[in-house]
Amino acid sequence: MPKEFWTANLLELLERAAFYGFYISITLFLTDVVGFSDRETGVVAGVFVGVLYFLTPFVGALSDRMGYRRAMVLAFSLLATGYGLMALFHGRAAVVAALMLIAVGGAFVKPLVTGTVARTTSQDNRARGYALFYWIVNIGSFSGKTVVPFIRIGAGVAAVNVFAAGICLVALLCTLVWYRPPDSPTRPQSLGEVAIALGKVFRRPRLVLLILIVSGFWTTQYQLYATMPKYVIRLLGQNAKPEWIANVNPLVVVLFVVLITRLTKRWRASTSIFCGMLLVPLASGLIASGQTLERLLGPSIPVLGLVRVHPLVLMLVAGVALQGFAESLISPRYLEYFSVLAPKGEEGTYLGFAYLYSFFAAVAGFMLSGVLLDRYCPDPKTLPAGLDAAQRAAYYQHASTIWLYFIAIGIATALALRAFAWWFEERGLSTERSPQARGER
């Protein structure tokens, strides 16, 4: 692989470490430092993440016209500025403005890096190049969330923004010194052409339906960042480390995605996605069982006779791990399934918007999280003054009810996917061949 390939992946690693370190803390920061309520935090964080993912195809087209190097410099300048502003200013308007800078800057990075991977690999090594890129993304995510709890506990959650800004400044320096991507041999799309392509997607009901169904899975998956940090800290205290629990997800994906993909390669794409979706309500059920186990077994239970852990932590780790297996079944096959439903000869046009599920899932997932936290696991600052420990605990005795909603969403999503696949495959509207014809299950 050429130097430009490794430089682009280094930048991706740095950006992912900064983003996920910040992302796992975003709801804590918005509520505990900025002063948004849980419901307001859900709206602000949901719109922020939704805008980031919605803008990606448009800024990708803009990057092609600007040139990759200039676009990458702009991206990390915006990111460093956004994180830096949030480290310095904690007023609501200033924070919302900073979040929009981060959303725009973050929307640039992924298409720039994937575009560089495409330009610096050949037909012979492209699959390996993208596999390495996928590993780098997860390593960046893992490393950022590994470091952040020490910063949050030691210096406060606002200091996480300093960490993210510092990493982005390092990435900006690396861009200026080393990043020299090759020119594109193809004509770049205009923003108008991207908008026309988006319109084409929305005129294809089956693609819109698939995007919305898959959004159900990601609505639950995003609770690692929307609900879980507050849930853990409000039930277990400020020294708990939800960041490390969230890290179980990328760890499982990195370790098992290749094996799972090989084992299921003869399955239909829709079958693999459906099996992954069946794991989602099971994962939420495991997480929901944590409070019940605590009532039955107490605040500490042995694991393999080696260590003792809190039942909430044990069930969260088990649930998040199961979500990682679900993601390993769904993510590698989703683009395949989306492409076979797209009009023949126009797959590339439509695939650019296959990730619209991230927009819908982020907005819905964070907003729903705010409502559920406010009802079942409220901000301690909103409780009446003068409560003793038992009275305060009463406000959190049904906190695990939150996860029952995601069990319901998971079941509904799996059933919707099964009905969708049956309808289009039975009516011949999907180009997936029958499993008998392909020797699949």
Let me know if the fold of 1-189 is the same as that of 200-441. Answer: yes
Strand partners, 301: 309
What is residue 190's DSSP assignment? P
**Tens digits of residue pLDDT in 212-253:** 999 999 999 999 999 999 999 999 999 999 999 999 999 998
Please identify which residue in the block is written with the tokens 């909430």: 312
CB 414 within 8 A of CB 274: yes
Q: Give residue limits of the domains in the chain.
A: 1-189, 200-441
Distance CA(426)–CA(355), nearest Å, equals 26
Q: Which of 287, 366, 293 is nearest to 323 (CA)?
A: 287
Q: Domain 1-189 sits in which CATH superfamily?
A: MFS general substrate transporter like domains (1.20.1250.20)
Strand partners, 302: 308
Local structure of 309: helix, strand or coil: strand
**pLDDT of res. 423:** 87
Pinpoint the alpha helices (H) of 289-400. 290-297, 311-341, 347-351, 356-376, 389-394
**pLDDT of res. 352:** 79
CB 242 within 8 A of CB 229: yes
**pLDDT of res. 433:** 44
The CATH class, in words, for 200-441 is: mainly alpha
Please identify which residue in the block is written with the tokens 């179980």: 248
Distance CA(368)–CA(373), nearest Å, equals 9
User: What does the pLDDT profile of the chain (441 residues) look like in tens digits?
Assistant: 789 999 999 999 999 999 999 999 999 999 999 999 999 999 999 999 999 999 998 888 888 888 999 999 999 999 999 999 999 999 999 999 999 999 999 999 988 998 898 888 887 888 788 888 888 998 999 999 999 999 999 999 999 999 999 999 999 999 999 999 887 666 667 778 888 888 888 888 899 999 999 999 999 999 999 999 999 999 999 999 999 999 999 999 889 988 898 899 889 999 999 999 999 999 999 999 999 999 999 998 988 878 899 999 999 999 999 999 999 999 888 988 888 888 877 766 787 788 899 999 999 999 999 999 999 999 999 999 989 989 999 999 999 999 999 999 999 999 999 999 988 876 655 544 444 444 444
With vertex at residue 199, the alpha carbon angle to CA 196 and CA 200, rounded to the nearest 5 degrees, is 90
**pLDDT of res. 429:** 55
**pLDDT of res. 186:** 65
**pLDDT of res. 14:** 97
Q: pTM for this one? A: 0.92
The bridge status of strand 307-309 relative to strand 301-303 is antiparallel
Torsion, Cα of 20, 25, 30, 31 (10° steps) = 160
